[in-house]
Amino acid sequence: MKFVWLVGSAAILAAGLAPSIASAQAVTPKAAAEPASPASTAYPTSAAGDGNTVNGYNQSRWAEDWSKLCDPAKRDDFIDALKCVKLTEDGKSYVTFSGELRTRVNLTTNPNLREVQQQRQDIARIVGGADVHLGDHFRVFGELGRAELQGINLGTPGGNLRNQLAVQQLFAEVKGKALGLDVGVRAGRQEFFDGPQLLTVGRDNNTLYFVRDGVRAYARGKNARVDVFDLNYVNYGFGGISDDKTNPDVRFSGATFGFRLSPKLFGGSKLYLDPFIWRLRNRRGSWGGVTDLEERYFLGLHSYGDIGPINLDWTVNHQRGTFGNRPISAWQAFVAQTYKLGKASDAPRVGVHFDYGSGGGSYNRTGALNTTNGLFGNNIYYSYGLFLTPTNLLYAAPNFTFTPLKGVRLAAEYGFAWRPDEFDAVYRASGAPWAGTQNVRGKKVAEVARLQAVWTITPRLSFTGRYEHFQADTVLKRANLKSSDFWAGWLSFRF
C-alpha cells in the first residue's frame, strides 16, 4: 500500500506538471477560461442544485461542460482531447472522460478523544468516469472509485475509506424542453447537492463520495426551478462492485424549490431563495441507545448569494415527525456571512458564522424528541477531526480568508462550541453521541482553532494542507474526553 501511495504521489506530480513544463507556464484549459454561457432564459447553473463549477471543474463531474473542446483548435494538450471523444462526425454524440488521483496523509492525536496512540492514515483515492452524450437529450454517466487505506491505529474503517472497487455513480438522464422550461430526469446511483451544505453534500473529505440510488427530476425556468427526488442511501462494501448495495432501510425524498430574486434588491445583488420540504425515513433510527422507525420531515428555507461585497448563506429548518411512538420537534439555523475587503477576485474576506441545532429528549423514553438530524451535511464544517455536528450544538466562529501568494489561499477560523441541552449528549460528525456526555452537566463543549492552505499549482493539480487544535472544554473534560491535534495534507490531480 505504501508503495502504491508513493507511486501515486509521484504520478500525480508528474501528470500535473507535465503541461506546465512543456509550455514553461501553467495553461488554463479553454473550457475553463471560456465557460459556456447559458441562454438568458436559463436558470443560473451555480444555483441549480448541481454543485459549484470553478475553472471548469465540479465535484460532480457530470455537472461539467467540456463541449467546446470538441473543436480541436481549442485544445491545449493531450488531456483536453479526452474531454470530447466524438462518437459521430457531427459531434452531437461524444464521451467526456474524467478522473482523479489523490494521495493524502492524516495525523490525529488522541483519536476518539481518548489518550491513546496517535492515528496515521495513508489514503489514496483513484476515480475514473465517463459521461456518454447520445445526442442532445440523453446521456449515461458512470464512475468507478477505489479507496486505499493504510497506517497506524486505524480502528474499524468503513467501506468509504477502504474499498477495492465501487460503482460510485451510474445513472441515465433524459432532458429537453417543455413549456419553455429545461426539464430532465436522472435515474440511478448519483450524488445529491440540492440543499444547504450543512445538510446535503457529497462529503469530499471521505475517500469515496456519499451517494444514493434513486430518481431525481427537475424543471428550470429563467427565475424559478423545482427539483423532486426519491432516493435510498447506499451501503459500501469492501470488495468489488458487487457488494455496494442500496440500503432499503434509509429513504430520502422530497422537493427543493428555487427562486432568483430581483437583482435590483438592496441597490444591486445576486440572491436566491430555496424553500425545501424533505422526508427522511429510517427503519433503524437510533437515539439514546434505542433503535426504532424514524420518520422525519424537514421544512426549511435556504437563502444565499451576494449583496455588493457581502456574501450570505442562511438556512432555517423545522424538523417534525415520529421516532417510534414519540413525536419529533426540532430546529436548526445556519447563519454565515463574509465581507470582501477589496475589489479583486482574490481579495481578503472576513466573516463569521453562527449555527444552532436543538437537542433534548434523546435519552428519554417518552415525550418529544427535540434532537436535530444533520442528514449527510458537510462533516468537516466544525472540525477537521470530525468531532462535532449540528445536533444539540450552538457554535460561533469568526474567520478570515486571504491570498498571501499567487495561487495560494489561506483560511483561518476560531470556533466556540456549546450544547443547548445539557441533559443530551454531544454528537460527533457521524451522528453518534460522545459516550458519557449525556451523564455530565455543563454547556461549554470545546474551542476549535483551524487553518487551511490550498495551493493551486496548475489548473489540474493542487495541494491542500490543514491543521486543527481541538481544545476540549467543560462537558468533554467531565466525560473524561481529551483535546486533540489534527494535521492533513494531500496532493490531487484531476482531469
- Hey, what amino acid is at 470? F
Backbone angles phi, psi at 323, to 5 degrees: -125, 105
- Whether the CA torsion 380, 382, 383, 389 is positive or negative: it is negative
Pairing of strands 408-418, 444-456: antiparallel
Each residue's pLDDT tens digit, 204-253? 999 999 999 999 999 999 999 999 999 999 999 999 999 999 999 999 99
- Can you name the residues that pair with 484 across neighbouring β-strands? 470
Distance CA 448, CA 484 (A): 10
* DSSP 8-state code for residue 22: H
* Below-50 pLDDT ranges, the chain: 1-40
Burial 23-49 (b: 16+ CB within 10 A, else e): eeebbebbbbeeeeeeeeeebbbebbb
**493 to 99, 112, 205: CA distances (angstroms):** 8, 31, 15
- Hey, what amino acid is at 357? G
Backbone angles phi, psi at 51, to 5 degrees: 85, 175
Residue 372 · residue 330 · CB < 8 Å: yes
Residue 386 · residue 427 · CB < 8 Å: no
- Domain range 2-494, CATH architecture: Beta Barrel (2.40)
Residue 88 · residue 233 · CB < 8 Å: no
**Per-residue DSSP letters for 422-434?**
TTS--B-TTS-B-
Q: Can you give the pLDDT at residue 60?
A: 93
**Per-residue DSSP letters for 85-134?**
EESSTTSSEEEEEEEEEEEEEEEESSGGGSSSPPEEEEEEEEEEEEEEEE
Distance CA 396, CA 414 (A): 8
Q: Can you give the pLDDT at residue 22?
A: 35
Backbone angles phi, psi at 124, to 5 degrees: -135, 135
Distance CA 308, CA 108 (A): 40
Q: Can you give the pLDDT at residue 25?
A: 31
- Can you name the residues that pair with 254 across neighbouring β-strands? 229, 278
